[in-house]
Structure 1
């Protein structure tokens, strides 16, 4: 993986988080991880839970998750092979509700409500775009930066104008803002709101508990002793209309904990009836 011009600790952190994102972003990987989150199962049992996968698609996906250390294959005999999550795979699952909650708050509202798992998949598509984590890291650390500064820190050794395509994409995705040509760039509220997601992924990648995300030196809460009252997380909450002017980025505090998810909750599309709202400002989806 290419090395950025950031300090070694930050560079290593970005590399670990980027690698974690690329483990779970490929199509169907999140759904397969959730299907595997049961006692060890036969291949046919897993396939029955994922009927949308055609013959021949599931096996290489499971093999890639095994190679990544998230799933494991246990062969009791030639005819008795079982698959399940590793401990590392199970430790990664609590990141998923954090991603879905971020999507619910910061991405545009679709005409038809999405299941939580679709919220996760849409978000992962945005977060794994080229250079995205490194650019977001720099803007979080510096509050704002010019295109030349971002290029020097994110793509050292490359011509500085090469930073514009990923920057434009991040603006289109609603994660970065600027007031005009030649003006510095900064995180949008949506980009700043990724703190609990990036903090949790960083902790997991470093082998630490995901619930220590608030302790992350960059993305954690300013006051590590600060607490917020837990709230019940639902996949589709109502939101106030978008403000007329873009507010300055603010560090968001995360709930103290999120309720555990059951696989059925993630795949369910059942939502309470409500009027279809006008399209709100926010990041785009896939």
Structure 2
């Protein structure tokens, strides 16, 4: 059943990406996935890596990740149960540094540097807002759209003024812009730069290799881009994997939780930003 007025292929793409975001955006889910990115572990071993979770919080979240197909529970005996990532869950991990790279370049700079995992969580919070994916898809494909035309596509069965709350939220978040009341809407620089993020999420949710993201029909690059230096992260240890660049082979995901939560601060790359950057 179509959820938007987009062409069927685009509608299905938006639905898959929206579902993927709903799986991983809830608080602590990404951190739990990263803690599970090791050989199968007992519950107590996982809990020890996530001490900030209160008693009773971890188990239902692991169960929800198992139900989503990202984690798996293996019962060796009545007293020996282990948890680990499924192949599907491991395939998701390379999407996370793409999100963090976007946040590092396009979100406003906080007074205190953020860890890589916090950059990922900030990105997810913005992307998972109601109807955000559908609005971003339409604006990317149409370039400029009036609110009424946008509503006909995004909420075809709803009253058209209902488009304004999510649209204003995306403007506040810095991903959409307009010249003023009654003027068409379009993606901002930060919104347009979401191509690698949304392309990677689209490929993962469709069960396709992530390296096909550059060929996404909407969010892919129209032509190969010249090689550029690897992004200097705001706060990672040297062991934290950065994004691969065209001149280097891609790294296999193998993050350690300690690396992701590190606040060590290397030299910062000054990015060209809109005034203030996108709001976190």
- Change in Cα spacing, 1:272 to 1:128, as seen in structure 2 (3 Å) is same
Match of 1:271 in 2: 265
Deviations 1:48-85 (A, max 9, x none): 00000011000000000000000000000011100000
8 Å Cα contact 1:4/1:154 also seen in 2: yes
- State the 1:212 CA deviation: 1.1
Measured after TM superposition, the shift of residue 227 of structure 1 is 4.3
Runs of 4+ in 1 over 4 A off after TM superposition: 257-261
> Counterpart of 2:140?
140
How do 1:81-160 residues align onto structure 2 when only pairs under 5 Å count?
81-160=81-160
Partner Cα distance (1:72, 1:33) in 2:
11
How far apart, CA to CA, are the structure 2 residues paired with 1:121 and 1:2?
29
Residues 101-133 of structure 1: CA distance to partner in whole angstroms, max 9, x if unpaired? 000011000000000100010110110111100
Q: Residue 233 of structure 2 contacts residue 266 of structure 2 at CA under 8 Å; is this kept in 1?
A: no
In the alignment, the residues of structure 1 paired with residue 63 and residue 109 of structure 2 have an alpha-carbon distance, to the nearest angstrom, of 35
Cα drift, residue 258 of structure 1: 6.0
Structure 2 residue aligned with 1:282: 277
TM (normalized to structure 1)? 0.88
| 1:213-268 Cα distance to aligned partner (Å, 9 max, x none) | 00100000012xx143253333219xxxxxxxxxxxxxxxx943765562232111
SS at match of 1:64: helix
Inter-partner Cα distance in structure 2 for 1:176 and 1:258: 32
CA contact (8 A) 2:232 2:267 kept: no
Helix, strand or coil: the match of 2:76? strand
Gapped runs of 5+ residues in structure 1?
A: 238-253
1:262 aligns with 2:255: yes
**Separation in structure 1 between the aligned mates of residue 228 and residue 52 of structure 2, nearest angstrom:** 36
Look up the SS of the partner of 1:96 in the other structure. helix
Give the whole-Å Cα distance in 2 for the aligned partners of 1:112 and 1:131.
31
**1:75–1:228 Cα change, 3 Å:** farther
The residue number in structure 2 matching 1:80 is: 80
CA contact (8 A) 2:230 2:245 kept: no
